[in-house]
Amino acid sequence: MSGRPELSPLTPRAAQIASAARELLEEEGRDALTMRALADRLGIRAPSLYKHFPDKAAVEAALIEQGLAEMGAVLHAALEGTAPSEAADGTGAIGAVLRAYRAAALARPRLYRLTTSGPLARERLAPGLEEWSGTPFFLAAGEPYLAQALWSFAHGMVILELDGRYPDGSDLDRTWAEGARAFAARRT
Protein backbone atom coordinates (compact mmCIF):
# COMPACT_ATOMS: atom_id res chain seq x y z
CA MET A 1 0.00 0.00 0.00
CA SER A 2 2.73 2.48 0.96
CA GLY A 3 1.35 5.40 2.99
CA ARG A 4 -0.12 8.33 1.17
CA PRO A 5 1.67 11.64 1.73
CA GLU A 6 -0.20 14.07 3.97
CA LEU A 7 -2.21 16.68 2.13
CA SER A 8 -1.33 20.31 2.72
CA PRO A 9 -2.85 21.35 6.06
CA LEU A 10 -5.91 23.61 5.95
CA THR A 11 -7.52 25.56 8.76
CA PRO A 12 -11.04 24.35 9.59
CA ARG A 13 -12.59 27.28 7.78
CA ALA A 14 -10.38 26.77 4.75
CA ALA A 15 -11.44 23.14 4.65
CA GLN A 16 -15.09 24.23 4.62
CA ILE A 17 -14.37 26.56 1.74
CA ALA A 18 -12.57 23.85 -0.18
CA SER A 19 -15.50 21.54 0.41
CA ALA A 20 -17.95 24.10 -0.94
CA ALA A 21 -15.64 24.71 -3.89
CA ARG A 22 -15.66 21.05 -4.71
CA GLU A 23 -19.44 20.88 -4.63
CA LEU A 24 -19.63 23.90 -6.87
CA LEU A 25 -17.12 22.43 -9.30
CA GLU A 26 -18.78 19.05 -9.51
CA GLU A 27 -22.30 20.41 -9.77
CA GLU A 28 -21.81 23.27 -12.18
CA GLY A 29 -18.41 22.93 -13.79
CA ARG A 30 -15.15 24.75 -13.90
CA ASP A 31 -16.47 28.00 -15.31
CA ALA A 32 -18.98 28.23 -12.49
CA LEU A 33 -16.23 28.04 -9.89
CA THR A 34 -15.80 31.78 -9.38
CA MET A 35 -14.83 33.49 -6.17
CA ARG A 36 -18.20 35.23 -5.97
CA ALA A 37 -20.23 32.08 -6.56
CA LEU A 38 -18.12 30.24 -4.01
CA ALA A 39 -18.63 32.98 -1.44
CA ASP A 40 -22.38 32.98 -2.13
CA ARG A 41 -22.57 29.29 -1.35
CA LEU A 42 -20.94 30.00 2.01
CA GLY A 43 -23.08 33.03 2.79
CA ILE A 44 -20.17 35.46 2.72
CA ARG A 45 -18.71 37.98 0.25
CA ALA A 46 -15.96 37.18 -2.22
CA PRO A 47 -13.21 39.30 -0.64
CA SER A 48 -13.60 37.42 2.64
CA LEU A 49 -12.29 34.30 0.94
CA TYR A 50 -8.91 35.95 0.76
CA LYS A 51 -8.63 35.71 4.54
CA HIS A 52 -8.34 31.95 4.06
CA PHE A 53 -6.66 31.45 0.69
CA PRO A 54 -4.13 33.77 -0.95
CA ASP A 55 -5.81 33.50 -4.35
CA LYS A 56 -8.11 31.38 -6.47
CA ALA A 57 -5.27 29.14 -7.60
CA ALA A 58 -4.75 28.09 -3.99
CA VAL A 59 -8.38 26.98 -3.73
CA GLU A 60 -7.94 25.01 -6.92
CA ALA A 61 -4.72 23.52 -5.61
CA ALA A 62 -6.62 22.16 -2.60
CA LEU A 63 -9.06 20.49 -4.98
CA ILE A 64 -6.24 19.14 -7.12
CA GLU A 65 -4.74 17.56 -4.01
CA GLN A 66 -8.06 15.88 -3.34
CA GLY A 67 -8.21 14.67 -6.91
CA LEU A 68 -4.71 13.22 -6.81
CA ALA A 69 -5.27 11.62 -3.40
CA GLU A 70 -8.53 9.98 -4.41
CA MET A 71 -7.21 8.75 -7.73
CA GLY A 72 -4.12 7.36 -6.01
CA ALA A 73 -6.25 5.58 -3.42
CA VAL A 74 -8.44 3.99 -6.08
CA LEU A 75 -5.45 2.80 -8.08
CA HIS A 76 -3.58 1.41 -5.09
CA ALA A 77 -6.74 -0.41 -4.02
CA ALA A 78 -7.25 -1.83 -7.50
CA LEU A 79 -3.76 -3.28 -7.46
CA GLU A 80 -4.28 -4.88 -4.06
CA GLY A 81 -7.60 -6.34 -5.07
CA THR A 82 -6.50 -8.08 -8.23
CA ALA A 83 -3.05 -9.28 -7.30
CA PRO A 84 -4.25 -12.74 -6.23
CA SER A 85 -6.81 -13.46 -8.93
CA GLU A 86 -4.51 -12.15 -11.67
CA ALA A 87 -7.26 -10.88 -13.95
CA ALA A 88 -10.31 -12.05 -15.78
CA ASP A 89 -9.15 -11.10 -19.27
CA GLY A 90 -5.48 -11.91 -19.31
CA THR A 91 -4.33 -8.32 -18.90
CA GLY A 92 -3.54 -8.74 -15.21
CA ALA A 93 -2.56 -5.76 -13.11
CA ILE A 94 -2.41 -3.53 -16.17
CA GLY A 95 -6.05 -4.18 -16.98
CA ALA A 96 -7.05 -3.66 -13.37
CA VAL A 97 -5.30 -0.32 -13.13
CA LEU A 98 -6.78 0.86 -16.40
CA ARG A 99 -10.32 -0.10 -15.41
CA ALA A 100 -9.96 1.61 -12.03
CA TYR A 101 -8.49 4.73 -13.62
CA ARG A 102 -11.30 5.07 -16.10
CA ALA A 103 -14.01 4.48 -13.52
CA ALA A 104 -12.55 6.97 -11.06
CA ALA A 105 -12.15 9.66 -13.70
CA LEU A 106 -15.64 9.27 -15.13
CA ALA A 107 -17.16 9.30 -11.66
CA ARG A 108 -15.79 12.83 -11.07
CA PRO A 109 -15.22 14.20 -14.54
CA ARG A 110 -14.85 17.86 -13.62
CA LEU A 111 -12.49 17.18 -10.77
CA TYR A 112 -10.49 14.94 -13.08
CA ARG A 113 -10.15 17.67 -15.66
CA LEU A 114 -9.15 20.23 -13.08
CA THR A 115 -6.61 17.82 -11.63
CA THR A 116 -4.96 16.78 -14.86
CA SER A 117 -5.32 19.60 -17.36
CA GLY A 118 -3.01 22.49 -17.87
CA PRO A 119 0.32 23.27 -16.28
CA LEU A 120 0.57 22.06 -12.71
CA ALA A 121 1.79 24.42 -9.99
CA ARG A 122 3.81 21.77 -8.20
CA GLU A 123 5.00 24.12 -5.48
CA ARG A 124 1.43 24.40 -4.25
CA LEU A 125 0.98 20.64 -3.83
CA ALA A 126 1.96 18.35 -0.99
CA PRO A 127 5.37 16.92 -1.88
CA GLY A 128 5.28 13.34 -3.05
CA LEU A 129 1.56 13.27 -3.63
CA GLU A 130 1.74 13.39 -7.39
CA GLU A 131 4.34 10.64 -7.47
CA TRP A 132 2.38 8.48 -5.03
CA SER A 133 -0.77 8.69 -7.12
CA GLY A 134 1.17 7.51 -10.15
CA THR A 135 3.10 4.61 -8.64
CA PRO A 136 0.38 2.04 -9.37
CA PHE A 137 1.18 2.47 -13.04
CA PHE A 138 4.76 1.64 -12.29
CA LEU A 139 3.79 -1.34 -10.16
CA ALA A 140 1.46 -2.63 -12.85
CA ALA A 141 3.90 -2.10 -15.71
CA GLY A 142 6.97 -3.26 -13.83
CA GLU A 143 9.17 -0.78 -15.67
CA PRO A 144 9.18 3.02 -15.84
CA TYR A 145 8.95 3.54 -19.60
CA LEU A 146 6.06 1.20 -20.11
CA ALA A 147 4.48 2.79 -17.03
CA GLN A 148 4.64 6.28 -18.47
CA ALA A 149 3.30 5.07 -21.78
CA LEU A 150 0.46 3.30 -20.00
CA TRP A 151 -0.41 6.40 -18.01
CA SER A 152 -0.36 8.51 -21.15
CA PHE A 153 -2.71 6.10 -22.87
CA ALA A 154 -5.10 6.15 -19.91
CA HIS A 155 -5.10 9.91 -19.63
CA GLY A 156 -5.55 10.34 -23.36
CA MET A 157 -8.49 7.95 -23.37
CA VAL A 158 -10.19 9.66 -20.47
CA ILE A 159 -9.68 13.24 -21.51
CA LEU A 160 -10.74 12.60 -25.09
CA GLU A 161 -13.85 10.84 -23.82
CA LEU A 162 -14.67 13.66 -21.41
CA ASP A 163 -14.18 16.21 -24.15
CA GLY A 164 -16.45 14.27 -26.50
CA ARG A 165 -13.72 13.84 -29.09
CA TYR A 166 -14.52 10.31 -30.16
CA PRO A 167 -17.01 9.80 -32.97
CA ASP A 168 -20.56 9.11 -31.87
CA GLY A 169 -21.17 5.46 -31.30
CA SER A 170 -17.56 4.57 -30.60
CA ASP A 171 -17.22 1.38 -28.61
CA LEU A 172 -14.79 2.71 -26.07
CA ASP A 173 -14.88 -0.43 -23.95
CA ARG A 174 -13.33 -2.20 -26.86
CA THR A 175 -10.76 0.54 -27.43
CA TRP A 176 -9.71 0.34 -23.77
CA ALA A 177 -9.46 -3.43 -24.05
CA GLU A 178 -7.34 -3.15 -27.17
CA GLY A 179 -4.93 -0.79 -25.42
CA ALA A 180 -4.82 -3.01 -22.36
CA ARG A 181 -3.86 -6.01 -24.47
CA ALA A 182 -1.16 -4.05 -26.28
CA PHE A 183 0.49 -2.95 -23.05
CA ALA A 184 -0.05 -6.21 -21.19
CA ALA A 185 1.73 -8.10 -23.96
CA ARG A 186 4.89 -6.11 -23.27
CA ARG A 187 4.89 -6.76 -19.53
CA THR A 188 7.91 -8.90 -18.83
Partner DNA sequence: AACAGTAGGCTAACAGCGTTAGCTTCGCAA
Partner DNA sequence: TTGCGAAGCTAACGCTGTTAGCCTACTGTT
Residues near a copy of itself, by CB under 8 A: 116-120, 131, 145-146, 148-149, 151-157, 159-160, 163-167, 170-172, 174-179, 181-183, 185-186
Binding partner of 127, given DNA, a copy of itself, none, CB within 5-8 angstroms per partner class: none
DSSP, residue by residue, 9-25: P--HHHHHHHHHHHHHH
- Cβ proximity to a copy of itself, 84 vs 119, nearer residue: 119
Q: What are phi and psi of 24, to 5 degrees?
A: -60, -45
Binding partner of 47, given a copy of itself, DNA, none, CB within 5-8 angstroms per partner class: DNA
For the bound state, the minimum distance from the C-beta of residue 10 to DNA, rounded and expressed in Å, comes to 11
One-letter identity of residue 88: A
Cα within 13 Å of Cα(182), Cβ side: 12
Q: From CA 163, how far away is CA 109, in angstroms rounded?
A: 10
For the bound state, the minimum distance from the C-beta of residue 48 to DNA, rounded and expressed in Å, comes to 4
Residue 165: how many other CB atoms lie within 10 Å: 10
Binding partner of 57, given DNA, a copy of itself, none, CB within 5-8 angstroms per partner class: DNA
